Amino acid sequence: MQESSAAIPRRPFAECARLDIDALESAFRNRTARIGVVGLGYVGLPLVRAIAGAGFSVLGFDIDPAKADLLNAGKSYLRQVSAAAIASLREAGRLSATCDFSRIAEVDAVILCVPTPLTRQREPDLSFIESTAATIAPRLRRGQLVVLESTTYPGTTREVMGPILERSGLRSGQDFFLAYSPEREDPGNPRFATADIPKVVGGDGPEALRLALALYGEVVARTVAVSSLEVAEAVKLTENIFRSVNIGLANELKIVFEAMSIDIWEVIEAAKSKPFGYMPFYPGPGLGGHCIPIDPFYLTWKAREFDITTRFIELAGEINVAMPRRVVEKAMQALNERAGRSLKGAQVLIMGLAYKRDVEDVRESPAFKIIELLESRGAAVSFYDSFVPEIPQTREHPGLAGRRSIPWTAAAIARFDMAIISTDHTGVDYDLLVEACPLVIDTRNVCARHGIVSERVVKA
């Protein structure tokens, strides 16, 4: 067992008369350095678990006191990070959390995991990066490594974050070290935890790169060094744009094949039998999560600075953004044909609010747009989601906050005219759903995967 952080003698590098990069690198490699993680959400908390689990002492920072209180009590607020894991790290003295940003000076590395959303005009919103950097700057000390993990466009770390930090009077590459390493979290994926995923690292100069590699090399299975901050920033955008474009293609093919009475799901299953030259991507009700619906627009915005129009990326975005409306149109048509009634006054059940299977994360979930479109047409909408018992406050859909999931019983389901499967959580009794509800709109092909064959099921 690693020694408690309280028992590890540590000399802050600010006390050194000369900046000793070798000593800082050594502190990372022998895990005696203390690491600060700013932003304890879906990216930050799993990173805290991985770093503390590797033997480091970690101080977590968040503006939400409830999160800090829960972690200090040995509890968790995310399913993907168990309370047992947090309690174990607390007992070992390797984890504490705070809202007091004056304590930034206590750590040897500061890793930022803050949101990078879009504005209503679908332009990058860097306000969280800017405000966090401005908070850190007056507390920054010589000899610290500062790493940004938030997804953003190439140039953000150097052109936006770096100058804010340098308001402290310290200079990147001379007094502190600046790096970028994109987060690659995949919530709900049991095969790949934070420590299992290779870490791409770029630095503002060779010393920053060397130090960031030393830190992450003790935490993750493999590090991948790249030549600059901008390359590292471009890597994450490329990964998510690749997914967005291919999902857009799958959604467009679904529309085309549907007109030809061809099942897109059967086509994909057969196509993926080819052992080379093809990778399966699946259609759905729209994109969700903090990455794929947002990240491509960071690049399209930056590309305009160079008079480049990213037509391919923007077309995929248009197709994916239009999918919730198509689902509602398909549901409206099916309800009219099967039950001879319109959406107005219909009781509709949304199955699943989370943006993907088996997570509680509702950020950018297409289910919210589907609900609003249905209600604008006069439907009465309820939802069921075992992972999301109550709709949280969201920036885009504040009017939905506070609604609670229905109970999962045959009697509760039977009162609905139609159910729309938006998220295909495992552990759901889909047989019961089809038996109890007269019409089921399946956007995920989950009924077919469960071997359910019924005229009540309509794929959308």
Best CA proximity match to 46, nearest among 58, 63, 32: 58
What's the gap between Cα 421 and its chain centre?
22
Distance CA 290, CA 42 (A): 10
Q: Is 447 annotated in the active site?
A: no
Which position among 113, 291, 437, 447 bears the catalytic label? 291
The answer to whether residues 160 and 126 touch, using CB atoms and an 8 Å cutoff, is yes
Residues 6+ positions from 22 with CB-CB distance below 8 Å: none
Q: What angle do CA 387, 391, 392 make, to 5 degrees?
A: 105
Distance CA 73, CA 45 (A): 15
The answer to whether residues 321 and 266 touch, using CB atoms and an 8 Å cutoff, is no
Which residue in this structure is represented by tokens 């490594």? 145
List active site positions.
291
